[in-house]
Structure 1
Amino acid sequence: MIAFDTLTPLALAGFLGVVLYVGAYAMLAFGAIRGNGYVYPALNLVASLLVLAGLADAFNWPAAALQIGWAAISVFGIVRIYLQNSRLNFSEEEQTLIAYGLPRMSKPTARNLLNRGVWVNAEPGTILTAEGECVTHLHFMLHGSAAVKSGGAEIAEIKRGFVGEMNVMEAAPASATVTVAEPSRIFTVSGTTLRSLAESDADFASSLSVHLARSTKEKLIEANRKLSAPARTPDHVD
């Protein structure tokens, strides 16, 4: 059994490095961090340096060479991600969409998604989803507004956000009809394209799922808030 109270600070640093190695891999395996982001290589870099420091008490070249190599690979990964991101350009519309709808998606992944869709100027009366019909496209309303109706009654209004996110990945029937109410600027991408990207890119699938679930949750919270709000009674008139 290891007596931690007798270990030197450098030895403790080595143990901390091992914990970081295991923790980083566990977070990657459970989807808490992305393999194509800065966090994973940064954690591995710190872990390798800590383990390397821990070898000072019982130095051996094979173990040191392994940590030096791991640190070099991590630095290369960080630099590669930086250079990759620095070459990506986004329009003002795309930046707004990412900031509002896809804040945690990596830039390369977001660029890949945006390249697969189109921006459209939608006129009033354009139907984005029809109640009871399969959702074939995911939309993001940047400017304008749309009315949400279920059973013929208007239940909500969308001014900025996703439309169709609840059912597009399964091409399931829409629970409501969403109709553009005023001239609007909308980004749209087909469900077929999204499913193809998700099947070929696990990071994309995980990131998109998180953001669509977040959008759905926010809409449900807002709907519950409106339903629970006390009905306003008309002022009494003599």
Structure 2
Amino acid sequence: MDLSFITDGWAGHLSYLLLVLSMLMRRMLWLRLFVIASALAGIAFDYYWLNNPVGVFWQTLLILVNLAELFILWRNDRRASFSAEEQRFRDTLLPGLSPGRTRRFLDHGRWETLAPGTVLTREGQPPDFLTYLDDGNIRIEAHGRLLRVVTGGHFIGEMSLMGDGRAVATATVQSRARVWRIERVKLARLRDTSPATMSVLELGIARDMRAKLVFQNATGPGDGP
């Protein structure tokens, strides 16, 4: 193998390596930092090895664009503020999402206070909302049998996001409940427009489902919280 392929253009290899690594980053901050590092290595390669001013210009422009985007991220994070219930939601189920992205995600839904008897999902039917329960009790029933009672800090209707989209159980408000809800159609749009946000949400849903299964196995069907 001709080692000059590596040694004579190490800065060029480093530039592309950092660019590839940036595509593996799950957080936008690290993605943009890796892109900037890639562009810096690219500038060194274009200037010292290739004497290519066109490459230097476009790599410099790439750095400036990413610096501007980092500033916007920083500004949005600094401006983001949360109520106590929103902060609980964020800490419990969205811990990997930046403050700015969390604020934008929450703004897609709405907070509501629901009266006892309100049906959130109906068994066998696609629910209109994904619901986060902050406070209150929700009865979960399937085939006319009580499965469990869900208390605050959990999603309702998350199972409908998988498979055929139909709810596997009926969820009914048992006591006055404080919830945050987002329409399914908005979630579908976010899957296309904000995949990073949806990735964090799906991780939160997976953790929530695992916690519910552990609780159900520990208490048995029909037991209280």
TM-score band by shorter chain is: 0.7 to 0.9
2:178 corresponds to: 185
Among 1, 14, 21, the alignment partner of 1:23 is 21
Shift of 1:141: 0.6
1:81 corresponds to: 73
Among 64, 69, 72, the alignment partner of 2:61 is 69
Going from structure 1 to structure 2, the CA distance change for 1:2 and 1:142 (only over 3 Å counts) comes to farther
Q: Is 1:93 matched up with 2:85?
A: yes
Mapped contact 2:133–2:178 kept (Cα < 8 A): yes
Mapped contact 1:169–1:194 kept (Cα < 8 A): no
2:120 corresponds to: 128
2:223 corresponds to: none
Q: Secondary structure at the match of 1:103?
A: coil
The farther-off stretch of 95-104 and 48-57 is 48-57
Mapped contact 1:125–1:181 kept (Cα < 8 A): yes
Going from structure 1 to structure 2, the CA distance change for 1:111 and 1:71 (only over 3 Å counts) comes to same
**5+ unaligned residues in a row in structure 2: which ranges?**
221-225
Q: Larger radius of gyration, structure 1 or 2?
A: 1
Distance in 2 (CA, whole Å) between partners of 1:208 and 1:51 is 35
Mapped contact 2:29–2:70 kept (Cα < 8 A): yes
Structure 2 counterpart of 1:3, one-letter code:
L
- Superposed, 1:1-238 pairs within 5 Å as 1-3=1-3, 7=7, 12=10, 14-25=12-23, 27=24, 33=26, 37-53=28-44, 58=49, 60-62=51-53, 63-159=55-151, 160-167=153-160, 172-223=165-216
Shift of 1:5: 11
TM-score, normalisation: structure 2: 0.76
Distance in 2 (CA, whole Å) between partners of 1:186 and 1:139 is 7
Distance in 1 (CA, whole Å) between partners of 2:120 and 2:194 is 27
Q: How many residues align?
A: 218
Shift of 1:216: 3.4
Distance in 1 (CA, whole Å) between partners of 2:112 and 2:5 is 65
Mapped contact 1:136–1:171 kept (Cα < 8 A): no
